[in-house]
Amino acid sequence: MLIKKYLLLAGFSVIASQAVMAQETAAPAATPAAPGTPQWSSRDMTYHGKNYDVLDSSYYPKKRLKQFRQFMDHQSAFPPKPRNQWEVGVGFGLYNVVGDINSLMFWQKGGGGLHLQVRKAWGYAFSTRLQYIYGVAKNLDVQPTQSFDAPYTNLGYTPVYNATSANPASNVYRATRMESSQLNLDMILNIKNISFHDARNCMSFYGYFGLGALGYKTRVNAADANGNAYNFNSIANPKASNSSNRKDLQSKMDKTYESVADNGNASTILDKKTLDFAPSIGAGVEFKLNKGWNIQVEDRYTFPGDDYLDGTKFGAMLGNAASVSQGSDGINYFSVGLNHNLGTKKKSVEPMYWINPLDHAYNELSYPRHMLLPNPVLPDEDNDGVTDQFDKCPKTPASVAVDGHGCPMDTDGDGVPDYKDKQLITPTECQPVDADGVGHCPCPEGCKDMKDKANKCPHIIDGMIRFSGNATLTPAIQSQLATLASQMKLDPDCKVVVMGGGGDKKKEQRSWERVNACIEYMTEKQNVLRERFIFQYGKGDDENIVNYRSAAPDESGPSAPPPPHPNLK
């Protein structure tokens, strides 16, 4: 019957918390995002499942900032452990002595308990808790113990029988009340939060082992208001049901508990309370209401190794048979509590037994913010600098300069690529040409000088780069510069003029930054000497445009001029 009542109470607690947990886990009403985009929550403006921002240094104490800096600098793969909140709570429940005499539940006019607690998590699975319990337990025989002529005092129960009474009792019903204070330090283990499939944990199962101290005092309700022992011969039917006997007995007893019970322990403390070492074990479940509150349902069993908690060390004595000891008594405390998290939310996360330690790893995989990603390796079978996906001439011979489509350069547009063209610059009026790219017209005046100039840097093609608001080199810009680098390597004696637009003071600085970004990429990533560039800036209206061309044979200029306005933001 007792077990059924415990299960019923636990069931009500679970049902009551389900509606609240649904509010905690429900996604906010919003327009669905396009597939592949991060899902944001209106509650905390983080990804669904995010418990806290790992990249926010305010969550870490000073002693862990060194590890945080190493993590941010990619010197360590592990972020430091965040500062987490303390949990405090209060609760009440059933407090019962499990011993030689039947225990009374609170609905049977029995006792109960109250507790206060504070809990701290030291990791995702382990936490400690300090809990104080004030409890009152009542015990009552529901079937008689026969005392006969010998006072039951000799069997460890005082007082029970008054030999001088006019009507000495032949049946004895033992009734005791134990009042106690219990202080416990609990070591709690919880792994429910470590989940591979759920971002948040709204219900936590845990078990624990506790060490503590128990101070108790047991008293006996053996006499009426006149000091006479109760005479229970008037009980209508001692062999009736336990419930019937209990109600009949309680109607005949007062509530004084006037006598101190027998106790074999010599050491006492305040108000002559017996002090015991009290280890305990227990298990419980917490239901999360929100990030600050939760409901706790728990059962603790304490075994102090003391056989006098219920005022006697013997079971019932029937007839002349000697009573035997029932072993050490124990205390069972089944409780329901309300807990609250203490701490600044901007500097401390929830207690760590609510946080999934895999949260950061899964979110970093889905929405990388900190992960170092390798540069993409795109296939380029003919190694001409244009990936196969965009290469319109996929089998270009080695060392042949190509255009942006991966096709061999054709400077004069006569249909014969430059590496086969014996007349590199064929005037339009001299085309069409033969298989060697030679036109069928006499060379006009000055043609030889033009051909010599073109032959000076035949592979370098003029181009234009457009930036989008800042000096960041997009993948498209990097690909364009890689093609220019390939062209310059085919003409090792040629220089390239890199010229940025922008005329006024502010635009001049931006123009310099964009030209400098291009040249630094060519020198650092493509291994082209900086001396092969002529650095020009502020030569036009649009600072977001950078032009490049091959330099004239006698053209010169600086390759690394200082910024014109370094302090201009």
Chain CA centroid to CA 164, Å: 72
Q: What is the pLDDT of residue 169?
A: 47
In this prediction, residues 520-534 reach a mean pLDDT of 92
Of 469, 546, 538, residue with least CA distance to 515? 546
- Residues 78 and 101: beta-carbon distance below 8 Å: no
- 543 domain residue, yes or no: no
Domain of 292, CATH number, reads 2.40.160.20
**Lowest-pLDDT range of 40-44, 273-277, 554-558:** 40-44
DSSP 8-state code for residue 3: H
Q: Higher-confidence residue: 48 or 407? A: 407
Q: What is the pLDDT of residue 297?
A: 97
b/e for 447-467, b at 16 or more Cβ within 10 A? beeeeeeeeebbbbbebebeb
- Residues 167 and 185: beta-carbon distance below 8 Å: no
Q: What is the pTM of this model?
A: 0.57
Q: Higher-confidence residue: 261 or 112? A: 112
- 511 domain residue, yes or no: no
In this prediction, residues 235-261 reach a mean pLDDT of 75
- 495 domain residue, yes or no: no
Q: pLDDT tier at 316 (50, 70, 90 boundaries)?
A: low
The DSSP bridge pattern shows strands 86-98 and 293-306 to be: unpaired
Q: pLDDT tier at 253 (50, 70, 90 boundaries)?
A: confident
- What is the Cα–Cα distance from 159 to 259, expressed in whole angstroms? 7
In this prediction, residues 320-340 reach a mean pLDDT of 80
Of 541, 405, 558, residue with least CA distance to 483? 405
Q: Give how many domains the chain has, as a whole number.
A: 1
Please say if the pLDDT value at position 128 is more than 60. yes
- Tokens 């990936």, residue? 387
Q: Which residues contact 544 (CB under 8 A, 6 or more apart)?
A: 466, 467, 468, 469, 501, 510, 514
- Tokens 């196969």, residue? 388
Range of the domain at 132: 85-161+169-354
Please say if the pLDDT value at position 47 is more than 50. no
Please say if the pLDDT value at position 183 is more than 70. yes
- What is the Cα–Cα distance from 40 to 48, expressed in whole angstroms? 6
How many residues would you count in the chain? 569
- 215 domain residue, yes or no: yes
Of 334, 325, 274, 335, residue with least CA distance to 99? 325
- 451 domain residue, yes or no: no
- 328 domain residue, yes or no: yes
Top mean pLDDT of 264-268, 324-328, 508-512, 515-519 is at 515-519
- What is the Cα–Cα distance from 169 to 2, expressed in whole angstroms? 31
Q: What is the pLDDT of residue 30?
A: 37
Is the peptide bond preceding residue 61 cis, with omega within 30 degrees of 0?
Answer: no
Q: Which residues contact 274 (CB under 8 A, 6 or more apart)?
A: 215, 216, 217, 263, 265, 267, 268, 306, 308
- What is the Cα–Cα distance from 115 to 541, expressed in whole angstroms? 77
- Torsion angle of the four alpha carbons 177, 180, 185, 190, in this order, in degrees rounded to the nearest 10: 30
Name the β-bridge partners of 186.
Answer: 129, 210
- 424 domain residue, yes or no: no
Please say if the pLDDT value at position 19 is more than 60. no
- 416 domain residue, yes or no: no
Cα Rg of the chain (Å, integer): 45
